[in-house]
């Protein structure tokens, strides 16, 4: 068993969920060179336009990908949990087409880009798991496009609450009926293409329907099946291993 105080252990856990790794693969992952870094809430991990030199593992804390439009509004394209490899996207594409920013204080491990690529092809099991992981990210992007493009506000919010519940549970951060959501209603709006005012109204609607309860930013799901139905949610796109 791998000691959990290995800094790269969360990455190993993620890769094992995305593919099949043998003992030598596991050791190779933990042997990657890295540099630890701490980030404040709202700190940037990557800025749009950056040239990638490192790939980033989110060890603790939450982060999100965002793009800014002409009017100054922003769109959050995905949320990342502890254990996520936040930046395989940008680091292979070289020039970052979006920013990655911290939602909370966070600890990361920066791994040189070349070391990641070298490992991916030296040990195909690992490479396939990493590739798979980036494709799951892509599947989530597609679902978010669909969510914003073709669902009404209430359904969008119910959907995203279901997604977070499933992913938090899969990451071991709470079961799928209760979790702490480290996001403001403004940020929820930036995820769903809504204004914070309307997010507030729709959350209240979900609460009044008895589907969820809120206390500060912790969400309890009182009626999972009801929320799944209200959110038109089908977890297939998350490609979770034990589903």
Partner DNA sequence: CGCCCATTTGACAGCTTTCAAATCGCGTGG
Partner DNA sequence: CCACGCGATTTGAAAGCTGTCAAATGGGCG
Binding residues (CB under 8 A) for a second copy: these are 49, 65, 67, 69-71, 73-75, 77, 88-89, 92-93, 95, 97-98, 117, 121, 124, 127-128, 131-132, 134-139, 141-146, 148-151, 155, 192-193, 232, 236-237, 239
How many other CB atoms sit within 10 Å of the CB of residue 151? 16
Residues 26, 134: Cα–Cα separation, whole Å: 19
Q: Smaller CB distance to a second copy: residue 38 or 68?
A: 68
Residues 238, 139: Cα–Cα separation, whole Å: 7
Residues 177, 231: Cα–Cα separation, whole Å: 15
Half-sphere exposure of 230 (CA within 13 A, CB side): 23
- State the residues that interact with DNA by CB under 7 A: 152-154, 184-186, 193-198, 200-201, 203-204, 214, 216-217
CB of 148 to DNA, least distance (A): 10
How many other CB atoms sit within 10 Å of the CB of residue 204? 11
Q: Which does 217 bind (CB under 5 to 8 A by kind): DNA, a second copy, none?
A: DNA
CB of 243 to DNA, least distance (A): 29
CB of 175 to a second copy, least distance (A): 24
């Amino acid at each position: 068993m791998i000691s959990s105080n290995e800094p790269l252990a969360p990455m190993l856990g993620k890769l094992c969920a995305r593919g099949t790794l043998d003992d030598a693969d596991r050791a190779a992952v933990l042997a990657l060179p890295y540099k630890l870094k701490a980030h404040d809430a709202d700190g940037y991990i990557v800025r749009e336009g950056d040239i990638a030199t490192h790939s980033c593992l989110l060890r603790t804390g939450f982060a999100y990908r965002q793009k800014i439009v002409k009017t100054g509004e922003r769109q959050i394209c995905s949320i990342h949990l502890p254990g996520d490899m936040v930046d395989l996207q940008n680091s292979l594409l070289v020039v970052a087409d979006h920013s990655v920013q911290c939602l909370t204080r966070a600890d990361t491990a920066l791994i040189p880009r070349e070391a990641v690529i070298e490992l991916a092809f030296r040990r195909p099991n690992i490479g396939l798991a990493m590739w798979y992981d980036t494709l799951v990210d892509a599947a989530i992007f597609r679902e978010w496009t669909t969510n914003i493009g073709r669902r009404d506000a209430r359904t969008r919010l119910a959907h995203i609450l279901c997604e977070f519940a499933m992913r938090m549970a899969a990451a071991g951060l709470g079961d799928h009926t209760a979790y702490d959501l480290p996001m403001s209603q403004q940020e929820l709006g930036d995820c769903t293409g809504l204004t914070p005012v309307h997010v507030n109204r729709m959350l209240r609607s979900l609460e009044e329907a008895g589907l969820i309860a809120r206390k500060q930013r912790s969400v309890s799901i009182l009626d999972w099946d009801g929320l799944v139905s209200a959110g038109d949610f089908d977890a297939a796109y998350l490609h979770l291993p034990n589903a």
